[in-house]
Structure 1
């Protein structure tokens, strides 16, 4: 009977490519991000995708990495735009839709962090991701009516947390 043989992790083969491609990938991202920390984050995400692709038998090359970096950058821009567009807050006027007035994104994230997970999930899916209520319901495993009720409670909780406990 033969001994079992260990197969090397194909991700190790990426080390040489990493050394050669890192300046190109980072160099592609940095001027487009304008932020070193964000370019570094997107570069690491790109190489993590390369490791996963190599483990799944994919062929990884520098042009492939640049393409993945481009997709990571586009995803970053989309997230940032959703945050700018989607974060809305109840205005003092009770006749105004609570999500029509833009709020400071950092404050809104802090308020969202105070909410329960199901309230935070519902608000994020509906207002940050821009999903219709029916899709929010599907993602949360609820009926449309239950999702509407959850969103109503979540908006009330958001308002209350934003106003420091006052209604």
Structure 2
């Protein structure tokens, strides 16, 4: 009978990558959620998920892969937040307005406006316009159909526009 050989924990590969990848993952999340505490929490969730995955699948871990994990953690966060917000307010349908995404906008003001939006709107707009993902990928990440995601994006742009202009639809 052979004695079992000690195998190194595949999660140790993450230790080598951690110092280099931490600023990238944290920066990605902070730029999208705008809240340091939340970005720190999501960063820790990202690395814990990476450890679990490395132990179960043993696949290669790269900074790009970690950003993908962080994106999923951010989407999950927004889903949880939306469920919480939905439980606290009545759901009302917003007016659909033509898409005037023209010109340049101030990044700081845009982040403040995004913070005032509901989590589902913030999630859709961030994935589509900040991450530059196509609508089908946004739909897949949010667990929605493409048609439902297109409708959500229309409503999210209208909500963003209204928050940007301070309530006027001009």
Using the size of structure 2 for normalisation, the TM-score is 0.49
Q: Which has the larger radius of gyration?
A: 1
Using the size of structure 1 for normalisation, the TM-score is 0.50
Which protein has greater RCO, CA pairs closer than 8 Å, 6+ apart? 2
